[in-house]
């Protein structure tokens, strides 16, 4: 299973003072709650799938690809400007060089190549079985 994320920000590392939050209206609170809910859902889904694949001794068959530190305009889903597209392409290029996790030093580039080979081999195997 190859799970492709849309990226997250480091917004949740940000802290607010009581004075700041006291000035928030309902809209600000709803936006913060929505962001927290979406992030928690993404992390919980990844954690659950990762655990299931580990329990099945198939952890090499699951890969979650996601940048977790988007900043600036790269966080805006509605910014399709050429400059932002170039920034996002650079984010993707940089992500390829990062390790998959603290426990897995394999880079995303290596992991994706491994996945592509795995999928290609399985397709060839199915094609060979179908020709009998």
Tens digit of each residue's pLDDT, the chain (132 residues): 888 877 776 655 567 788 988 999 998 888 888 777 776 777 788 888 989 998 999 888 899 998 888 888 888 878 899 999 999 999 999 999 999 988 889 999 999 999 999 999 999 999 998 877
Show the tokens assigned to 86: 């170039």
pTM: predicted TM-score of the whole model, two decimal places: 0.69
Delimit the domains of the chain by residue range: 2-131
* Rounded Cα distance, 123 and 132, in Å: 15
The rounded radius of gyration (Å) of the Cα atoms in the chain is 19
């Amino acid at each position: 299973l190859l799970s492709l994320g849309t990226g997250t920000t480091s917004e949740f590392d940000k802290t607010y003072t009581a004075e700041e939050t006291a000035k928030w209206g309902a809209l600000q609170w709803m936006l913060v709650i929505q962001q927290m809910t979406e992030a928690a859902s993404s992390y919980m889904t990844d954690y659950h799938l990762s655990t299931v694949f580990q329990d099945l001794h198939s952890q090499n068959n699951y890969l979650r690809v996601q940048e977790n530190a988007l900043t600036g305009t790269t966080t805006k889903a509605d910014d399709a400007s050429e400059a932002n597209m170039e920034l996002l392409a650079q984010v993707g290029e940089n992500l390829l060089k990062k390790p998959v996790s603290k426990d897995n030093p394999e880079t995303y580039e290596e992991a994706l190549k491994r996945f592509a080979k795995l999928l290609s081999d399985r397709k060839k195997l199915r094609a060979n079985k179908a020709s009998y």
